[in-house]
Amino acid sequence: MKLRLAPLNVPLERRLQTAAALHWVFSFLVLAQVCLAAFMLLLLSDWWMLAVLYAGWLWLDGDTPTSGGRRSDWMRSWRVWEFFRDYFPLRLLKTVDLDPKKNYIFGFHPHGVLVAGGFCNFCTEASGFSRMFPGLTSHLLMLPFWFRVPLFRDYIMCGGLVSSSKSSLSHLLSRPGGGNVAVIALGGAVESLEARPGALKLQILNRKGFIKLALKHGAQLVPVFSFGENELFDQMENPSGSLLRRLQNRLQSIMGVALPLFHARGVFQYSFGLMPYRKPINTVVGEPIPLVRTPSPSSEDIEGLHRIYLQSLTHLFEQNKEKYGLDEHQHLTFI
């Protein structure tokens, strides 16, 4: 493999964009382990009392990730996120205005490897979510496991991340007065194993829990498709039934976290590494699906709304695909 080095005369703006993307990759892949190690070292040092006090705080604050989290508008507005946005570049696009008096579930597709579009659009203000949707507060749902990691949990909650548990979602959707948006990467960890350039397979056919909660709380469903999300990383070949896929599925069933073996480019060279490719991401927010609040939805209610959701998602994709680099013959596959 020929090594393609980055030129020395890269403009400062692009260097800052690369640094911002590196910060994001580090945060998702390494920061949790660093935070856990720092906590353990503090516990074993002469400053162990600080670790004990923080552990007590964790116990008192344990319900926060399932009760709306603890957002920081200051952190969501950091300049670093604007450089991160421009690295790809990344855009958020809306099709209609949304009523701030209602609560919503945004179904985010596809998951991709690291949910870049979901993070930048809904956990920061770099793409202008609050200006685009005034009166709405976005919350990206994340596996509950990560909210058990000391220090890391507090960092991710500042961006608006909350637990993806059923109680967490119910809390958001049942808030009076409306204005809450629960953003769910519906394909989950399993879908990340399919994330590679050109992939259009979505893990959605058996995902119906969000439908039931939407009906129960009367929250409107909004399909969201992030064009370019799967173009950011290559991934080792892992076809269904292969030894690698069986191992990945086994680890995912045990740990709840998928381990896609992805690669793309580096910081100072373009041949290999864990930095994402500079590919445009266009995240399109579709129209809300009206529904009637049903406190005890039947299986027929759930199946019917699920079909409508798939139709709306397909319509959103087909209506916009050629605008964002896809061919007419390319279509979604639901699995």
Pairwise pLDDT comparison (70 vs 2), residue with the higher score: 70
Task: Give the Cα separation of 112 and 224 in Å (integer).
Answer: 13
Separation between Cα atoms, residue 105 and residue 183, nearest integer Å: 6
CA distance 5 to 270: 6
CA dist., res. 256 & res. 258, Å (int): 7
Q: How confident is the model at residue 4 (pLDDT cuts 50, 70, 90)?
A: confident
Sign of the alpha-carbon torsion through 100, 105, 107, 111: positive
Predicted local distance difference test score (pLDDT) of residue 253: 80
Rounded to the nearest integer, the mean pLDDT of the chain is 94
Q: Give which of 123, 114, 97, 228 is closest to 183, Cα–Cα.
A: 123
Residues facing 138 on adjacent strands: 181
Closest CA to 227 of 125, 86, 110: 110
Q: Where are the beta strands (DSSP E) in 76-231?
A: 90-94, 104-109, 137-142, 161-163, 180-185, 201-202, 220-227
pLDDT for residue 7: 83
pTM score: 0.94
Residue 5: pLDDT band (50, 70, 90) is: confident
pLDDT of amino acid 1: 63
Query: pLDDT per residue over 80-98, tens digit each?
Result: 999 999 999 999 999 999 9
Cis omega (within 30 of 0) for bond into 110: yes
Q: Are 189 and 256 in contact (CB under 8 A)?
A: yes
pLDDT at 254 over 80: no
Q: Of the ranges 21-30, 129-138, 149-158, 246-255, which one carries the lowest mean pLDDT score? A: 246-255
Burial of 318 (0-12, 13-18, 19+ CB in 10 A): middle
Q: Summarize pLDDT for 275-328 with one digit per residue, the tens.
A: 999 999 999 999 999 899 999 999 999 999 999 999 999 999 999 999 999 999
pLDDT at 257: 77
Whether the ω angle into residue 89 lies within 30 degrees of 0, i.e. cis, is: yes
CA angle 88, 93, 99 (to 5 degrees): 145
Place of tokens 């353990």: 40
Q: At what angle do helices 48-60 and 31-43 cross, to 10 degrees?
A: 120
Q: What is the mean pLDDT of residues 3-13?
A: 86
How many angstroms separate the first and last alpha carbons of the chain? 35
pLDDT in tens, 40-73: 999 999 999 999 999 999 999 999 999 999 999 9
pLDDT at 318: 97
List pLDDT tens digits, range 168-219.
999 999 999 999 999 999 998 889 999 999 999 999 999 999 999 999 999 9
The pair of structure tokens assigned to 224 is 């969201």
Start-end of H helices in 126-177: 129-132, 152-158, 166-173
The pLDDT of 103-111, averaged and rounded, is 97
> What is residue 224's predicted lDDT score, i.e. its pLDDT?
98
SS3 318: helix
Residue 33 has pLDDT above 90, yes or no: yes
